[in-house]
Amino acid sequence: MDTAFLIAAALSSMAAVAMLAVLIVRSRSRSDPELESRLREELRQARKDAAESAASLRTELAGLLAASASSASSAIGEIGKAQAEKIESLRASTDALVANARRDAESGRQLIEARMKALEEANGRQMEEIRKVVEEKLNASLETGFARSFASVRESLEAVQKGLGEMQVMAAGVGDIKKVLTNVKARGTWGEMQIGALLEEALAPEQYSRNVKVRRDSDAMVEYAVKLPGRGEGADSCVWLPIDSKFPTEDYQRLMEALDAGDQVAAEAHSAGLARKIEASAREIQEKYVSPPETTDFAIMFLPTEGLYAEVLRRPGTVERLQNSYRILVAGPVTLLAMLTSLRLGFRTLAIEKRSSEAWKVLAGVKHEFEKFEDALDRASKHLATAKNSLDTTSRRSRVLVRRLRSVESLEGSFEEPGASRLSSPDDDDLIEEEPSEGEDEATPAP
């Protein structure tokens, strides 16, 4: 390292001298040509000397590097030898430690085995004692438990037998329902029964009819029809609102099975098939039963289950297409009951409007009769006044007669008195003559 530093210093000095010479030559080149030539000569000599110095320095540096490499190689060899000796010593120490560890492990294993054997023997004795105690208690509890279990099992078997009987009854009922649902005619009958029950609940018997022939040019009869009032006044001027039930069980059942299986592709396909079946039913109802003015310009298609009705509502645009294209309203059980309830309120309002004119006629007759009653009441009042006057006159005459009768009773004591032959006094005669009045004359009948 020192030699390299010296070489670098020498080269730097030579470079500095060369640069100084160059600067001097440039500054004096115009005034002193001789000096320039001498400087150039000296510069060439300096370059030569520098080259020789560099060559000698390279030679010396090569020798130094060779010596350094030799010393380093010997040092590395000594270090490797020392490391090998240390590794060998470490290996011997490790072998000794491993041997000691093996001996300790073997002794520990033997000690653990002895202790485990003693522990197993002790555990075996304790487990035997525990087994005996458990067997005794288990036998006692099992006997009691078995007795209770047998009683419970017997009761359960009786309940199961009873339940099986009920299940058989239910199975028979389910079979009947299945027959109803699989038979087209039975399904139609079931839908008709539901419509009939809803109509019976919401409307009066005279407000609807069953199996109605609503078209003059066809013999087709709709299951039920609501009788709406027409423009005329007669009983035959009504307008029919057709109600027909449809129940595509197969399509709906396939849709439910696909949904239960989680098959969305099949469910969508069956849902589309169900929508097509409903649309075909709506077209059939429209062609067979909608015939204005005998019927309304729309009809109601009844779906017997709320699940089927909800599936039709779930299909986008299905209900609107049925209403706009075929004039068909789709209704489930709840929806149909709401429609019929609205119709019942409309019937009630219409009946009130029709009866209002009759009420006015009755009130006019009552007014006329009341006027007659008022005249009769006036005449009765006059007759009562006449009768009152007659009663007053009769009362006065009765009082006069009473006084005269009293005077007759006193005749026996007055025979001996002078002038006792008079039965009445002049005042009484005058009173009787003055008492008749106008009312008395009116009350006296003509001869």
Structure-block tokens of residue 352: 């009130």
| DSSP states of 241-299 | EEEEE---HHHHHHHHHHHHHT-HHHHHHHHHHHHHHHHHHHHHHHHHH--TTTB-S-E
> With 70 as the cut, is the pLDDT of residue 232 above it?
no
According to the model, what pLDDT value does residue 397 have?
80
> With 70 as the cut, is the pLDDT of residue 134 above it?
yes
Compute the distance between CA of residue 198 and CA of residue 336 in angstroms, rounded to an integer. Answer: 8
Global confidence as pTM:
0.41
184 versus 154: the higher-pLDDT residue is 154
pLDDT band at 216 (very low <50, low <70, confident <90, very high): confident
Which uninterrupted H or E stretch holds 300? Answer: strand 299-302
Q: How many helices (H) and strands (E) does the chain have?
A: 11, 5
According to the model, what pLDDT value does residue 218 have?
81
Encoded amino acid at 383, one letter: H
> With 50 as the cut, is the pLDDT of residue 440 above it?
no
Mean pLDDT (whole number) for 324-352: 84
For 346-387, what is each residue's pLDDT tens digit?
Answer: 777 776 766 666 666 766 666 677 677 677 777 777 777 787
126-133 long-range contacts, CB within 8 A, separation 24+? none
pLDDT band at 21 (very low <50, low <70, confident <90, very high): low
Backbone torsions φ then ψ of 302, nearest 5 degrees: -95, 125
| DSSP states of 200-235 | HHHS-GGGEEEEEE--TT---EEEEEEEE--SSSST
Q: Show me where the domains of the chain are located.
A: 184-331
> With 80 as the cut, is the pLDDT of residue 127 above it?
yes
According to the model, what pLDDT value does residue 443 have?
39
Q: Which residues are within 8 A (CB) of 308 and not within 5 positions of it... i.e. 6 or more apart?
A: 247, 248, 252, 332
Backbone torsions φ then ψ of 30, nearest 5 degrees: -80, -30
380 versus 81: the higher-pLDDT residue is 81
pLDDT band at 28 (very low <50, low <70, confident <90, very high): low
Give the C-alpha distances (Å, rounded to integers) separating 94 from 83, 89, 105, 318.
16, 9, 16, 90
